[in-house]
Structures are given as structure tokens and as C-alpha cells.
Chain A
Amino acid sequence: MSATSGTPIELEHASRNYGSGNERVRAVDDVSFTIEPGQTLCLVGESGCGKSTTGRMAAGLLEPSQGRVLYGGKAVEALPEEEKKRFRRAVQIIHQDPYASLNPIRNVTQILSAPLQRHRLVKSRSELKSRLHELLETVGLTPPEEFLNKHPHQLSGGQRQRVSVARALTVGPEFIVADEPVSMVDVSLRIGLLNMLLGLQKDLGVAFLFITHDLAVAKHFSWEGRIGVMYLGRMVELGPTQRLVGEPVHPYTRALISALPEADPELTRSKERLRLRSPDIPSLLNLPAGCPFHPRCPMYEEGLCDTDRPAEDAVDLEGHLAACYVAARELGQEDRIPESSRAAGAEAERRTA
């Protein structure tokens, strides 16, 4: 399967709510992005930012409360039966917890055979056997015979993740949503798993939505791709990895990059840290007005930042977007700031002057 034969996946102003009335929470708030065939997008953010929920919407496992998920330009819910089946097979998911991602009472053969048989992808026992061998070898579990009859509890965490990937590959997906696939795996084994996934991208043209809280892992995995930074359900910055990491625009991204400890004593002890105004993270039930990051943001400006919620593309640098009005002004894009915020900002300045 070559990279050009895939179909783009798109999220269009997708939101996901939980609860109702006073207790309504927007786990994901108006997120949009497109992933072209063979491309990688990493979603980065801290816990509670909505990246996992976004991943599940992209995988078609969760319906957006507002907005749409598009497959090849068409809304997934409205797809005709045939295409819906095609979508279901084209989009797969890998989970974070190696101890929960496999059914404990089924062995590797059963786990991998089920989708192959269900979708009639193999026509005989011998074909099934050779396909199983092929899958296990693709994910680096060799010799395959050693693993076929094992139950999950007889495998290590890294091996389980590989079986998970093999399972996703049974149906020949074009797009895999990987939800923190290496965070519960030993450090010395992570790179092996990541390289295996990158190999799938290169050899099979699989596109990835890679979800992680670790910006360094995101940078390594998506070096040629893009990173999207999420905060409290919103996409605050989205752009090519190399540019985003090298010249971050949004203050939250900058805070994340500056906060990350590095495995290099001189570097990390001399790194300049961005100081946040407050350690408190607002609850999703009680979001502040305007930009959700403003209570903690070192670049906060009264009026400008707490009036309107910044649009995703408040800053637009040719495919590198950021939701920050202060940055917009600094980068000469004031015309993208709505009048109400500009006025409020000017008013506040006059008062303090």
C-alpha cells in the first residue's frame, strides 16, 4: 500500500461534551486538523487536555458532540454502508496500557485470527498461519512460533504492545491512532517500539495520530511531521515539528519546552525556565473568560487576553498556527485580533498608564 493510496482524515470543529446542565464539561473544544495519507501528527499536552478524547473521535470510536469527522472529505456518520466498512478497517487504534490492551483469556493466535477470519482476509488454515507469521515478524516478534500460543500475561509490556500493533495491522489500516503507546514501557525499549512504528509509516504508508505527553518523544517520532499542542480541550498551537520545537509561538508551548528536563546535566541546569504566574490549573467546569491559559501565562495582558477566546489561527505563519493574541501582535498580525479584544486591551493599558 503506497502513501498516495490512502484517504485523508479530518476533524472539522470537533467538540466533545460530557455531563449536562451546570455540570457540562467540554473535554474537547472546537478542534480542527487534517492528516494526509502517510503523514504524522503528534498531539501533545498534559493530562486532562483532551488529546485522548480527540484521538478516539478521529478513530471513529467516539462521536463528536459538535462538528464532524471526515473521511476522504465525507462525514463519517453519513457514509454509505460500504464506505463505512472501509473506514472502519482503515482506521485503527493502539492503547497505552499494555496490561489492558489485550484480552487476558485469549492467546496471541486467537487475538490475531479473529479480525482475519471475520473479514475473510485469509482463505485457508495455511494462509492464516503464514499471515500470522508475517504479522509477528513485521512487529519484531521473532521467532513467531514462540509467541503464537502465549497468553498476554506471559509476555512483557513491550511484547504486548507489539501484539497490539500486529492486531491493528491485520486489517491493513491506512491510519493508526496511537494513544501514548510507549509511556508505560521501559525507557530502554521505547525507541525500538517507536522505530517499529516509523517503519510502518515508511514501508506501508500508514499515517499516524500519535498522542503523548512527552514532547521529546513527539519530536523524535514526528520529526518530519507536525505537532499539535492542546490545553484544556483546545488546540493552542499546530505546526511542523521542527519549527514548533525550534521557534515556539504560544506561551504554553514555550512553557512546556522550557520546563522539560533533559538528560544532559549542563544543558538542563543552565536552561532558562519560563515562570508561570500561578500553579493552579483551572477546572474544566469553571474556565476563565478569554484565553484559558491567561491565569498562568507569563505574557498575559489585561483586556487583550481575557475578553475573547483566541481562535486557533490567531497567528498564521504558513501552516504554523497558534491561538495567542499577544503573539499575534508581536509577529505583526494584529489584524487577526478581533476588535473587542483590541479595544479591551487598549482600555486596560490606558487605565494602568
Chain B
Amino acid sequence: MEGRDEVLSVRDLEIGYATGRGLVRAVRGVSFDLGDDESLAFIGESGSGKTTLGLSLVRLLPQNASIARGEIHFRTASEEALDLTTLDDEALRRFRWRECAMVFQSALNALNPVMRIRDHFADTAKDHGETNGSLKGRALTERATECLQMVQLDPDRVLGSFPHELSGGMRQRVMIALGLLLNPRVLILDEPTTALDVLTQRAIIEVLRTLKDEHRFAMIFVSHDLSLAAELADRVATTYAGRIVELGEVERIFYHPRHPYTVGLLDAVPTLAGEQQELSSIPGSPPDLIDLPAGCKFHPRCPYATERCREEDPPLMEVAPGQAAACWHWEKVGSDWEARGGERHERDAHRA
């Protein structure tokens, strides 16, 4: 693994689901690195494979899923290098939540309805603790209190409550606090703001931003919401049909995209600021992961598609320092985009 500061390194990851209809190739060759203080957002829609990717990093894939190829290298707090694909159950138990934790969507069924919140903390500590004594008793309560305060919840009120007594926003924050309990190096958040009201979303985003600014750990966001990436991400990876199609720093992706899908997404999202915009949908439908087209998987919906796109699936290519896109025509995409720069600046003028 290169780089002193890298905590996660994924190479050529391929994951498939065995279903009645055939093999669903949810992740088809994903590679990326994650710095230990970095926020990386995976943005994609249905059929992008982003949720599968997130689950695979904590090895919480469902029964019918399997990692077909690839490596996931993790550097632990004690500077040990682990290959997540080969860990056994006991090692996984120690890995999960202590090195890398996952925060699920705040749906009511993410928390056990008959357990109080303090018991959720106790359970988590016990399940992933040391074999000779996990966090418990007063130390546990202190740490749980600390975590709840980090997410701006009142511990006295929350610890003794049942999940249904808390609002959706509070439950989401509890999920984040549970993730932080054992001080992981990486936190993976799956759609943390979806299905939440605007004002509650804002509160969660602020909580995450504070965590990011005040503590040193890496975050991976998995979402369909571009604006979440705009708020919190250092780098963004747009995903389509199981692959990363563009990867780069957040400002490059939003202001200088080079992949037609990224451009399509940016053109499809209405903004509140500014005048009425020219927005457009991406024609066609999300891909069928069982029956993918040949060549570039995006070509049926792409305005730049040529014969080459129908035959050859482009790899991620460097298009600028620190930015890569999987498109044969990235240069043309880039120049078309920059030529539209005029109308962007006009929009910016209305921002203030």
C-alpha cells in the first residue's frame, strides 16, 4: 500500500449476487484508496452497486452475494495490514466496529425495538470487544455519553429510551453514535440523509461536518444525493452499473466533470438558488445488472456514444491530476462543459 496516510485500499473488486434470474454483477472492478482523514462520497442511482460496495467493506453482504475477485487492504490503528477478503469470523468480529463501522439508514427497523438505547451500546461493545473484557459498566456509559454528545443528543434523555420514542433524526444520530463507539478509523454511512425531512437533514449534515472537522477518521458516504457530496465530501466517485465512472476532488467533479454520466447528473438536479435552469433527464433507464450491454455500460444513454463505445468498455483514465474518468471521449465532454461555462457564471451571479 502506498502512502503513509492511507487506511483503505481496494483493487479490482468484483461482487456478484446469485439470483433466480441469473448472476447480478453488482460491482464490476472497483479500485480506490482512502486517506485516514478523508471523506469519500459514492454517488449513484439504482443499479450502481454503491450499497453493495459499502456492505462489502465491512463484509456484511447477504448470503447470496460473493466476492468474485479483488482485494481490500486495510491498515489498522496498530499499523497492521489486513486483507479483508480473507479474514476469518473471529478476526472479522474484532475488525467490525473497532476499525471500521457502518451506519445504516435510520429506518425504524435498523434498531431493535425492544431494547433501550443504552442496551444497543452495550451490545455493540460486547459483540466487538476484546476477548478478555470489553467496554462495559461505567466506562461504557462514559463512552456512550461522549458519543451521544458528539452527535448533539442529550444522553440523559436518549440512553433510557426505546427506538420508537425517538424521532427519525434522533435515530439516525444514534446510529452514528453507535458507529463511533469503539473509535473506528473508518465510518461508512449508507444514505444517511435519505427519507429525512429537510430541517432534520440539515442537523445531520452539521453533525457530520463537526465530526469531520474535530476528529480524525475517514468517512465513506454512499448516496444518490449529489448535494450531500457537495456538503461533506473531499472526493467524489460517481458510480454506474457497478463501476466507478469518475473519481476526483469534489471541486473538480462538480465544476469540471469529464464523464457524460456525471454531466447528466449535474444537469438533472434542480438548485434552489438562481433563476430557472435548463435541466434535462438522462434518457433511457437504469441498467439491468444481469444483462449488461457490451462495451461501455452507459453508451445506450450517452450523447457522445460512438462505435468504439459500443465495443470497448473504457477503464478509468487520468484526465487531470487527481481526477480520472472512464470515457473514451472525455476530452470532448470536458471542452463542451467548459464552453458552457458562460451560463454557469451567470448562475453564480445570483448566488449572493
Q: A and B touching (C-beta < 8 Å)?
A: yes
Taking CB atoms, residues of chain B closer than 8 Å to A100 are none
Evaluate contact between B266 and A220: CB separation under 8 angstroms: no
Taking CB atoms, residues of chain B closer than 8 Å to A261 are 201-202, 205, 225, 227-228, 230-231
Segment touching A, from B79-87, B130-138, B275-283, B304-312:
B275-283
> How long is the Cα–Cα vector from A47 to B279 in the complex, in angstroms?
27
B78 within 8 A of A: no
- Nearest to B279 among chain A residues (CB) is A191
Taking CB atoms, residues of chain A closer than 8 Å to B270 are 191, 216-217, 219-220
Taking CB atoms, residues of chain A closer than 8 Å to B251 are 265-266
Consensus secondary structure, chain A interface: helix
Evaluate contact between B273 and A220: CB separation under 8 angstroms: no
Q: How many A-B residue pairs have CB under 8 A?
A: 121
B189-228 interface mask toward A, CB cutoff 8 Å, 1 = contact, 0 = none?
0000000011111110110000000000000000011111
- Nearest to A260 among chain B residues (CB) is B272
Evaluate contact between B280 and A191: CB separation under 8 angstroms: yes
Evaluate contact between A219 and B272: CB separation under 8 angstroms: yes
> How long is the Cα–Cα vector from A273 to B264 in the complex, in angstroms?
29
Evaluate contact between B281 and A268: CB separation under 8 angstroms: no
Evaluate contact between A188 and B272: CB separation under 8 angstroms: no
> How long is the Cα–Cα vector from A217 to B271 in the complex, in angstroms?
8
How far apart are B91's CB and chain A's nearest CB, in angstroms?
A: 38
Segment touching B, from A78-86, A168-176, A251-259:
A251-259
- How many chain B residues sit at the interface, stated as a range, is 35 or more
How far apart are B55's CB and chain A's nearest CB, in angstroms?
A: 20
How far apart are A94's CB and chain B's nearest CB, in angstroms?
A: 18
Give which listed residue, B254, B279, B282, contacts A264 with CB less than 8 A: B254
Taking CB atoms, residues of chain A closer than 8 Å to B264 are 188
Question: By CB atoms of chain A within 10 A, which of B169, B224, B228, B273 has the most?
Answer: B273
> How long is the Cα–Cα vector from A279 to B204 in the complex, in angstroms?
11
How far apart are A140's CB and chain B's nearest CB, in angstroms?
A: 10
A91 within 8 A of B: no
B264-303 interface mask toward A, CB cutoff 8 Å, 1 = contact, 0 = none?
1110111111001101111101100000000000000000
Q: List 23 A-B contacts (CB under 8 A).
A: A187-B269, A189-B282, A190-B281, A191-B280, A192-B280, A195-B281, A213-B197, A215-B272, A220-B279, A256-B198, A259-B202, A260-B272, A262-B271, A263-B271, A264-B230, A266-B251, A267-B273, A267-B348, A268-B227, A273-B202, A279-B169, A279-B200, A281-B167
Interface residues of B (CB under 8 A from A): 45-46, 167, 169, 197-203, 205-206, 224-231, 250-251, 254, 264-266, 268-273, 276-277, 279-283, 285-286, 348, 351
